[in-house]
Amino acid sequence: MYSQFFINSKLEFDQAEMNFQKCIIGGNWLMILSLTITIFCIIMSFGFNELISLPFQIACHIFTIVFAAFFKLGYVIRCVGVHGLGYKVY
């Protein structure tokens, strides 16, 4: 079993397995962080558009696209780690 968010100190890995574990953990954290920021930007762009300035709305729209791309990048990094450990289900 591989670690999801932290490296399990009870399990011993060689260097290649440790690198793939770090890919999984890094990808998971990148997906969580980028999803949180993307949801925040969507809420600010569409939920509170009367309360915020136009430049801030424009920035939120841009960051929605950018952090959605980071979410996809995190998923690809996670898939590389899972594939490297030999799992067939991502």
pTM attached to this predicted model? 0.86
Query: If you write DSSP's letter for every residue of 2-22 in order, what string do you get?
Result: --SSS--TTS---HHHHHHHH
Residue 1 reports pLDDT greater than 70: no
pLDDT tens sequence across 41-69:
999 999 998 999 999 999 999 999 999 99
Average pLDDT of the chain is 91
Q: Is 51 helix (H, G, I), strand (E, B) or coil?
A: coil
Nearest Cα to 1, choosing from 15, 21, 19, 16? 21
